Amino acid sequence: MERIQIRPLKTLEEFRACERLQLEVWGSLAVGAELLSVTQKYGGAVLGAVARGRVVGFIYAFLARRHGRLIHWSHMMAVEEGFRDRGLGLRMKLAHRRRALAQGLRSIMWTYDPLQSRNAALNLGRLGARVVEFIPNCYGRFPSAIERGLESDRFVVDWRIASRAVARRLREGPPRNSAGGRWPVVNETRRDAQGFLVNARLDLNLRAPRLRVEIPASTDAMRAQELPLARRWRLESRRIFQHYLAAGYRVADFLPPSDETGGKCFYIVRRE
């Protein structure tokens, strides 16, 4: 298999390649080459996945402050479509962790869409980041190709890169279904005529110490073919998370789709 290098990006040409990737992945440009280059020089991080001299993925993070402490805010990560699911996202995050630790930082934060199961699998399952906030319609109606027509709900995650819990998660890998298979499910689901996952019933009266919340294993086709259903998922998942977070639960982990789960995937929410 082709060798792909993960390294800090340096040249204007490489930063221009990040602009191209943004246009391909989101359909709009958020951060231009000039800003990428100054961020790289003055305390932030711009890391790339480079295949034969071509940038096929990047992370962009700037220095920020939270609760009085310096952190990296990782505003963007993208991998070119044909290079996904080969561990490049994970490798870039691990390289970012090493670099941030070397800079004396203890935390990297970012937001992601709770209905993007690939991101959930990587952020919570693999990396052991913690969800610290849920923000409905965080960026308004995002001008992004990924979310066109949807409100931009986001989880804010805090990846405590120096913590023992994160070191353990990186060593041991994502949780197994056996760890969560028995907990009650908040949303009963079924398939509609097109085969898309639909919520059949929501239960907002559960009180078990841990609960599961199912999300679709992918919403790409749903967003393209059944936008009203994708909107319904947006609103129903918002209702679930807002309700249970207000009731004292926190989003604790993510079970990726597997044979054990019958291809389903679940957030695990835990009462604090």
Residues near ligand COA (CB under 6 A) are: 25, 76-79, 84-90, 112, 116-119, 121-122, 126, 174, 217-218, 256-257, 265
Query: Among residues 95 and 198, whose Cβ is nearest to ligand COA?
Result: 95
Query: For residues 107 and 257, which CB has a smaller minimum distance to ligand COA in the complex?
Result: 257
Q: Measure the N-to-C terminal CA separation of the chain; round to a whole number of Å.
A: 45
Query: Shortest approach of ligand COA to residue 201 CB, angstroms?
Result: 23
Q: Minimum distance from CB of 248 to ligand COA (Å)?
A: 27
- Angle, in degrees to the nearest 10, between helices 33-41 and 12-26: 120
Which residue minimizes CB distance to ligand COA?
A: 89
Question: Which residue shows structure tokens 């071509």?
Answer: 54
Stated length of the chain: 272
Angstrom distance (rounded) from CA 17 to CA 24:
11
d(CA 54, CA 32): 18
Q: Which residues are bridge partners to 19 per DSSP?
A: none
CB of 120 to ligand COA, least distance (A): 7
**267 neighbors 254 (Cβ within 8 angstroms):** yes
Min. distance of Cβ 267 from ligand COA in angstroms?
A: 12
Is the Cβ of residue 124 or residue 240 nearer to ligand COA in the bound state?
A: 124
**Shortest distance, position 75 Cβ to ligand COA, whole Å:** 7
| β-bridge mates for residue 55, sequence order | 50
> Would you say 114 or 257 has its CB closer to ligand COA?
257
Nearer to ligand COA, 114 or 256 (CB): 256
Please tell me the distance from the alpha carbon of residue 42 to that of residue 51, in angstroms, as a whole number. 26
Amino acid at 40: Q
Judge whether 160 and 132 are in contact, CB under 8 Å.
Answer: no
Q: How far is residue 256's CA from residue 118's CA, in Å, rounded to a whole number?
A: 8
CB closer to ligand COA, 31 vs 70:
31
Least CB distance from residue 235 to ligand COA, whole Å?
21
| Residue 9 Cβ vs ligand COA, minimum distance, rounded to whole Å | 16
Cβ proximity to ligand COA: between 155 and 244 the closer is 155
Q: Smallest Cα–Cα separation from 155: which of 218, 81, 241, 77?
A: 241
